[in-house]
Structure formats: C-alpha cells, structure tokens
Homo-oligomer: A and B are copies of this chain.
Amino acid sequence: MKMSSLFVRTLREDPVDAEVASHKLLVRAGYIRRAAPGIYTWLPLGLRVLGKIEAIVREEMDAIGAQEVHFPALLPRDPYEETGRWTGYGPNLFRLKDRKENDYLLAPTHEEMFTLLVKDLYSSYKDLPVILYQIQTKYRDEARPRAGLIRGREFIMKDSYSFDVDDDGLSAAYDAHRAAYMRVFRRLGLDYVICSAMSGAMGGSRSEEFLHPTPVGEDTFVRSQGGYAANVEAVTTVAPLPRDFTDLQPARLLATPGAHTIESLVTFANLHYPREDRAWVAADTLKVVFVTLIHVNGEREVVVIGVPGDRDVDMRRLQAAFDPAEVTTATPEDLARHPEIVPGYSGPQAVGPNGAPRREDGTGGAPRFFIDPRIVDGTSWIAGGNATDMHVFGLVAGRDFTADGIIEAAEVRAGDPAPDGSGPLELARGIEIGHIFQLGRKYAEALGLTVLDQNGKATIVTMGSYGIGISRAVAAIAEAYHDDFGLTWPIQVAPAHVHIIATGKEDAVFGAAAELAAALDARGVETLYDDRPRVSAGVKFADAELLGLPWVVVVGRGLASGTVEVRERRTGARFEVPVAEAAGVLAERVETALQAARD
C-alpha cells in the first residue's frame, strides 16, 4: 500500500457526533465513515482490520468443529411469528413489506432460521451434535445508536448455534464456546471479564457475557476481589434471614403531613416520632414504585415494586426481571384504574394479596406487588398509610403484608456483598464483546425441531446460541489501544505491520524507502509506504501516529550515514538500524510478535 494512492484521508478534527475515542480515531484515521445514524462504511484500512478479526474468529470456531454457513439478512415473518419475536422484538426490529405486501424483517439474530435449517436436514440423534456459525451483517433499530461501532444499527456478528440431544451435550458445546471465546479475545489482545448474565428467573439456563472493561462501555457490571463477576441485571441480592416477629409491637398509623418523599418522611419521623436506639434512616422506610408492564400481547398492567427506601429501582434490572414484557412509566390513565393508589402515601397494605381481590372474571383488583429480597419476613418498616398525610410505623413483613413475589429490581451498589460470598462488589463498565447462552429447548419447541432418539422416540433438541460482535470488537480494540496521538493497533489486527516514511525531497531517500518496502513485502511483512512527494515530514509523522501501525520506519537524514530509524508506535521506543539490515530486523520483530499473539 502506498499513501499516495491509498483511499484514505486523515482528519485533524474530531467528528462532531463522536464522544468516545474509538469513534473519533477510527473516523479521523480514515478507517470508517458514517453513512447514516448507527450505520457505517468500511474504508480500505478498516476493512483490513475487520478481515483480520474475522480470520481469527473463524480459526477458533473451526477449531471446535463448528461449520460455517451463511444466512440471508432479509427474512420472512413466519418463523419469527412462531417464536413470538416478530412482536417481542418491539421497535428494535426493522420490518418491511415486499411488492406483494408480504412481511419481512432484517434479522437481528438467526435462532429461528438455524433451528429450521437443522430441522430441514437432520432427523436422528446420530446426526447430532452439530455446531453451525456464520459471520454476517445484522440489523437492530436502536433507539439511540451511539459511540460509532459500539452500538450500531447495522453491524457484523459471528453468531453460532449448537444442537444437542441432551443437557450434557449442551454443556459441552457451551464449554467449548467459552474456551474458544477466551482464545479469540486473548488473540485479539482484548482484556475481558466473564460476567454471569442471567437471573434465575429464566429457568436455570446458563448465560455469560464477555465484557471488555472500559469506562466508555455501556454495560455496567460488578465484580468482587474474590472473582465474582456479573452484569448488573444478573446480580442476586444476599437476603437476610427471616426474623421472629412474635414480640414486635402492632403497627401504628400516624399522621405525617406533607411527608410524601422518603427524605421528608425520615426528617418528619425523627422530629415527631423519634426512636430511642438511633435515628430513623431511609433504609427503615419501604418505598413503593408504580410501573406499567406492556405485555407481548399489548396488554398494559400496573405493578407495584417495594424496595428499601434507601435504594432506587434500577430500570434495567426491573426490565430484565419482567422480560419479555416491556417496563414503562405508569401513566395517569394507568393509575386511574387503581383508585387505591394514594400518590406519595401508598403502602403495601393496599396492593398485591393485601389489597382488593380480583373479580371473578379476572379483572379489577389491586395491582400485583413484588418486593426486594431484603424485605424478608419479620423486617419492620415505615410505609405509606394509603391515605394522604398518613404513614404506618412498625409494619412487619409476613405479619402485616405479603407480596406476589420477590424481585431483583433495586439498584446494586458498590460495597454490596457478592452473592457467592467472595467479598464486596465494585462497579465497573464494559463493552459486551461476546455472549454465550444456553437457550435450551425454547426455539426447538416453538419450531418443532425434534430428532429420533436411540429408541426411535421423538426428542426435542436442546440449543445454545453464541455471539461475538465483530465490528464492535474493532471499536473495543481501538478503545484499548490508542493514545493522545492516535491508534496503536496490536500487530495481529493492524491493517499492516510496518509504516514506512520517506522524508525530504531527495530521490535517494524515496528510492531507499521503496526498496525497503519491496524487501519487506518479499518477506511477507505488510507495509504502508508514505511515498507522498510534497508532504512535510511533520504531517507524515502525525499521520503515522494517527493510523497506528505497530512499526514506523523513517527513511531520511540518517540515510547519509547508512541508517534508518525504527520506531515502535505504542512504546515510542526508537533505534537506528543499518539500512541493509532493516528488512531483516523488522521481519523478525513482526514474526515474533505475530507468533506471540497466536500462542
């Protein structure tokens, strides 16, 4: 590659819509260009990085016996209708009609199609196990595409699917993917944390995310010194043991005029109803939050969430708990259907099993009530009195109220204990670069994928689904490998290995640089030669730093004394090499680095 003809133009200014380093630098260095919100074009240098990542992913997938196929992106509605995802995907799904008014979609993932393909070809337990994968363009109509390649609307993923007759087979396929992903991310030079990604609510299936820790990541996760890691949605609360409440005083309904917030309630209580042992704190109060679930069938249901008053409800955790229903703010119309709600003064005794029962036709009644695991039997609370300016003091869980269920919806905080006892949690952010997931039999059941077992009996196949964000990995690597001056690619994914700069105007310099490029090419070293004749050395240096190839060779003044300067882009280390030895030295360094990245 020669800079004089390479289709690239570097920019000195950050793009106006860019907030994170990877987005700024990939655009400024001419790797990608925006075509529409969340939709990018790959320029030659970017496409080379993408290709190298794809090759590494292919090698590791092939190594676990996965077979590559390729599905269309444009798919008919029917299979997604059968699994409920046509509607379940909500506004994130790009939907369209063809000229005959048939419904189509742009696939966000391909579980349905892989399931149907295996159903189409296979029929016996002897055909299994099989792992299939593709590297393919996916579509998701994100509400807020952001951060360049990190959250796009058209993006490239490796998705694979495993098919097994039994749970042991699924476990083996899952473990094989887990190990392959560890190798992939290590080979890409990407630091990762494997986070538990599922609450128990989904039926015990196993799911983990590979997060690349970075402050610009949009996923929050927690980890402990002792090795626990989970995304925030999956963190389970360490609940206290239930307490004996036989000796507790009856609850008292007390006037709390104007105390319709937790803060004002605590202040009022300390002023007018002080406790003897210590002051009241927010954690003594029970906060109720009303939200509306929009079920997949479109039905709206108001539910009530009870959490200790010192914690907010985390909408992502709430959403994960109620998935596939969508959690949204309760509107005045939603609330109007529940006259028992007293804004600012609602409490447990009017909702869930404690409130009005449903009518015989299933309508009416109090909204369902879900409580935080910390609200165990025997805990005592200050809660809303279900009348304006009134609160109940000493309201005891399990004695004065019960709930429809326990929910993991309260925010997770730094210092909370890890559920496995491995110490206090710290919060961090990351980019999701991989996800492995034991789907189980959900899709096979919905689409009728069975095989005959040893006894000739039809048995439902169990599946796993596994993804790697290929285009997102480009951004994650750029986040991990850059400095104030530009990108600093790991050699195994760099668009080329060596950036040769000819400085000055002398023909001898350009001749020597061209010779060096040819010598490196002959040794299999990929080069980008900046052969631009009327461009200053300063501009060339700045471009080389921005583009971020691992090795920079400057052919210039030193040539008079027979040397060139070699710079290591990431460390800034520089040394002089006799021009005749330069190709050999660089080829060896490149080969050593590539080998190290492979092992």
- Chain B residues whose CB sits within 8 angstroms of the CB of A91 once the complex forms: 99
> Given A6-B67, A7-B132, A70-B47, A98–B41 Cβ distance below 8 Å?
no
What class of interface size applies to chain A in its complex with B? 35 or more
A7 and B67 contacting across the interface, CB-CB below 8 Å: yes
Contact of A69 among B41, B95, B98, B143 (CB under 8 A): B41
> Given A36-B104, A117-B41, A99–B69 Cβ distance below 8 Å?
no
Taking CB atoms and an 8 Å cut-off, the chain A residues in 66-106 that contact chain B are: 67-76, 91-92, 94-96, 98-99, 104, 106
Contact of A44 among B39, B68, B96, B113 (CB under 8 A): B68
Taking CB atoms and an 8 Å cut-off, the chain A residues in 117-143 that contact chain B are: 117, 120-122, 130, 132, 137, 139, 141, 143
Judged by a CB distance under 8 angstroms, whether A257 is at the interface is: no
B33 and A120 contacting across the interface, CB-CB below 8 Å: yes
- Bound complex: CA of A63 vs CA of B42, how far in Å? 21
> Given A41-B113, A96-B96, A139-B74, A69–B36 Cβ distance below 8 Å?
no
Judged by a CB distance under 8 angstroms, whether A541 is at the interface is: no
Report the minimal beta-carbon distance from A80 to chain B, rounded to whole angstroms. Answer: 12
B96 and A69 contacting across the interface, CB-CB below 8 Å: no
B6 and A137 contacting across the interface, CB-CB below 8 Å: no
- Chain B residues whose CB sits within 8 angstroms of the CB of A121 once the complex forms: 7-9, 30
Judged by a CB distance under 8 angstroms, whether A154 is at the interface is: yes
- Chain B residues whose CB sits within 8 angstroms of the CB of A74 once the complex forms: 36, 39, 94, 106, 139, 153-154
> Given A9-B122, A36-B75, A75-B35, A70–B42 Cβ distance below 8 Å?
yes
Contact of A137 among B33, B44, B95, B137 (CB under 8 A): B137
Judged by a CB distance under 8 angstroms, whether A5 is at the interface is: yes
A40 and B139 contacting across the interface, CB-CB below 8 Å: no
- Chain B residues whose CB sits within 8 angstroms of the CB of A5 once the complex forms: 65, 130
B94 and A69 contacting across the interface, CB-CB below 8 Å: no
Report the minimal beta-carbon distance from A512 to chain B, rounded to whole angstroms. Answer: 24
- Chain B residues whose CB sits within 8 angstroms of the CB of A559 once the complex forms: none
Residue in B closest to A4 when the chains form the complex, CB atoms = B126
> Given A41-B70, A69-B47, A96–B95 Cβ distance below 8 Å?
yes
A44 and B67 contacting across the interface, CB-CB below 8 Å: yes
Judged by a CB distance under 8 angstroms, whether A43 is at the interface is: yes
Pull 30 A–B residue pairs with CB atoms less than 8 Å apart, ordered by A: A6-B67, A7-B121, A8-B121, A33-B120, A35-B75, A35-B113, A36-B74, A36-B76, A36-B104, A39-B72, A39-B74, A39-B75, A40-B72, A41-B69, A41-B70, A41-B71, A41-B72, A42-B69, A42-B71, A43-B69, A44-B67, A47-B69, A74-B94, A74-B106, A74-B139, A74-B154, A92-B99, A94-B96, A94-B104, A95-B96
17 additional A-B pairs beyond A7-B69, A7-B132, A35-B72, beta carbons within 8 Å, are: A5-B65, A7-B67, A35-B75, A35-B76, A35-B113, A36-B72, A36-B76, A41-B70, A44-B67, A47-B68, A47-B70, A50-B70, A73-B154, A74-B139, A96-B106, A98-B141, A137-B137
Closest 10 CB pairs of A and B: A96-B96, A42-B70, A9-B121, A91-B99, A36-B76, A39-B72, A7-B67, A44-B67, A72-B154, A99-B141
A residues sitting closer than 8 Å to B (CB atoms) are 5-9, 30, 33, 35-36, 39-44, 47, 50, 65, 67-76, 91-92, 94-96, 98-99, 104, 106, 113, 117, 120-122, 130, 132, 137, 139, 141, 143, 153-154
